[in-house]
Chain A
């Protein structure tokens, strides 16, 4: 989360380039939407027992249990005009990269407004976007596998008595790459097909592979310590 904010700031002042990055979470973690109440959505004591970290995002949307997945973040200055100004249309444009990528492994994925991608009517990818200083930041998850029981062990549900039904509903509504594929794809396999998908979705963009600079890493560590790991940020609502 801190790196996303650092990159937005650096792209704005011209010290970093617009980027598409892929990452995973170790240990597993929960991110909550900007507007969510942490204590209302997440069992923070249970998370501490399991060693699951919790972080508030800069973006809206719901709580996400990050475990078996590939996560991406994309940072695009609006002035480049490669993504529509309108929010809904810009989600659709960016998510073409994911949809075209999933097509490479024969998954027929579709955009489900506002912010999801579905396969066979079930959600395989959740996404969230914000715009800061004229830069679009969108991040999202592509589920590789999903353990709904584990997820609901740490997320609070509105009605405990309905928990069983809720879990079975979610199991019907959420899917993953592993459920739909006979082959078992690794994290890197999925990253590779997503890169191909994004290149296809943005043919006018020249992509090249790069690593984080020492400055980007250093600024991220500071921001993570001063903001994203603090109670003031994570428990603000």
Chain B
């Protein structure tokens, strides 16, 4: 998997492992020194990214949606930071 390093502005360091082709994200693993509460729900964020088209706005919307629906709290990272990193 390709490794992407991205420092979220005013946040923590994201280290994303990603497999993608020209159209979509095949697999993703989001790692780094950020905080997600509850911790186990990071997999739900990865799930909404996996298999999706490379559409920045839609990805951002999908992440924001799952974060709101599942009452996930993010510190040092946000949907914009994750999506920005995915396209580096």
State in angstroms the CA–CA spacing of A128 and B39 once bound together: 12
Min CB distance B11 to A, Å, is: 9
Grouping DSSP codes into helix (H, G, I), strand (E, B) and loop, the A interface class, with mixed when no group exceeds half, is loop
Over the window 131-144 of chain A, the binary record of Cβ atoms lying under 8 Å from chain B Cβ atoms (1 yes, 0 no) is: 10000000000000
B3 located at the interface, meaning its Cβ lies under 8 Å from any Cβ of chain A in the complex: yes
Grouping DSSP codes into helix (H, G, I), strand (E, B) and loop, the B interface class, with mixed when no group exceeds half, is strand
A residues with CB within 8 A of B:
33-37, 40, 58-63, 87-88, 114-115, 128-131, 158, 237
Among the listed A87, A128, A237, which residue makes an inter-chain contact with B73, where contact means beta carbons less than 8 Å apart? A87
Whether A35 contacts B73 in the complex (CB less than 8 A), given A60-B35, A60-B36, comes out as no
Chain B residues with CB under 8 A of A128 = 35
Beyond A60-B75, A237-B31, 16 extra complex contacts between A and B, CB < 8 Å? A34-B39, A35-B30, A35-B35, A35-B36, A35-B42, A37-B15, A40-B3, A62-B13, A63-B33, A114-B35, A114-B75, A115-B35, A129-B35, A130-B38, A131-B38, A158-B5
Whether A40 contacts B31 in the complex (CB less than 8 A), given A87-B73, A130-B39, comes out as yes
Q: Are A36 and B32 in contact (CB under 8 A)?
A: yes
Q: Are B36 and A37 in contact (CB under 8 A)?
A: no
Q: Are B33 and A36 in contact (CB under 8 A)?
A: yes
List the 7 closest A-B pairs by CB distance, nearest first.
A62-B33, A60-B35, A37-B31, A34-B39, A237-B31, A33-B33, A158-B5
Chain B residues with CB under 8 A of A158 = 5, 13
Over the window 25-46 of chain B, the binary record of Cβ atoms lying under 8 Å from chain A Cβ atoms (1 yes, 0 no) is: 0000111111111110010000
